[in-house]
Homo-oligomer: A and B are copies of this chain.
Amino acid sequence: MPQEADTKFRILFAIYPGMTHLDFTGPHQFLSRLPGSDTIVASPAGGNVEADGLTFGNTVRIADVRSCDLICVPGGTNATKVALDPEFMREIRRLAQGAKYVTSVCTGSLILGAAGLLKGRRAACHWAYAELLPIFGAIHDPARVARDGNIITGGGVTAGIDFGLTVLAEIGGETLAQTVQLGLEYAPAPPFDSGRPDLAPPHVRARYETLRQAWLPERRADAERAAALILATAPA
């Protein structure tokens, strides 16, 4: 019954090798509970996608996806490398332009940026990478879930769960979101309070910052190259 299929709300996750898998699986677990929706998992080449030691199988080749109502791009430590793949960026731009909602989790917003979708728009990002957003003309929003028009973006990794609930409420209503929250027992109780730089103990923050300063210059250089590619390829 193709008619029925056409009325379903199509949620597309655009994933890639090297992503941080929880950026994807967190919101997927919540959003796939939206009644009357279809969830599609696509990747640049289709087939198997490796991430943090897991293999996600049976993904669709993104070029074969006709359209979607919501696109969600997860992040990864390699997001600025992925941003340098002009074909993947073109597919993300194409699908985003036809979507009702354009979304990301974590450094996925850098990929939305590299697809030319965040010029002058506010977006969330993983705190350690957020300073790269302006390279794509975006404005960093420090919120855990940020909204600017039809663009809804989550912060780092686990923010994808708060993002998923927010999007569920937007599309399916508050009662649905709260029922899914109850079903997934989302009443977080972290044993430590170290999830943001302003919360983390100084020695933890310092340890992380040392690592970050080592990898940041290369990520910045990649982001700058990716931004130059947008200028070269994006429609005016």
Chain B hits for A186, CB < 8 A = 157-158, 190, 194-195
Question: Please, could you name 19 A-B residue pairs with CB atoms under 8 Å apart, sorted by A?
Answer: A21-B28, A21-B29, A22-B184, A25-B54, A41-B54, A48-B57, A48-B58, A145-B189, A157-B183, A157-B186, A161-B190, A175-B203, A177-B191, A181-B195, A182-B196, A182-B205, A186-B194, A187-B195, A188-B188
Q: Is A162 touching B178 in the complex (CB atoms < 8 A)?
A: no
- Cβ 8 A contact of A52, one of B29, B126, B145, B190: B29
Whole-angstrom distance between the alpha carbons of A181 and B201 in the complex? 11
- B178 in contact with A156 (CB, 8 Å): no
Does A80 have its Cβ within 8 Å of any Cβ on chain B?
no
The yes or no answer to A113 lying at the interface (CB within 8 A) is no
Judge if A150 is at the interface, Cβ distance under 8 Å: no
8 A Cβ contacts from A7-31 to B: 20-22, 25-26, 28-29
Q: Which residues of B contact A48 (CB under 8 A)?
A: 57-58
Cα distance A80–B26 when bound, in Å? 24
B-contact 0/1 string along A168-181, CB 8 Å cutoff: 01000011011101
Hey, what's the 0/1 contact readout for A207-222 against B, CB within 8 Å counting as 1? 1100000000000000
Q: Is A149 an interface residue (CB 8 A)?
A: no
Is A197 close to B, CB under 8 A?
A: yes
Q: Which residues of B contact A179 (CB under 8 A)?
A: 194, 204, 207-208
Contact status A192-B178, CB under 8 Å: yes
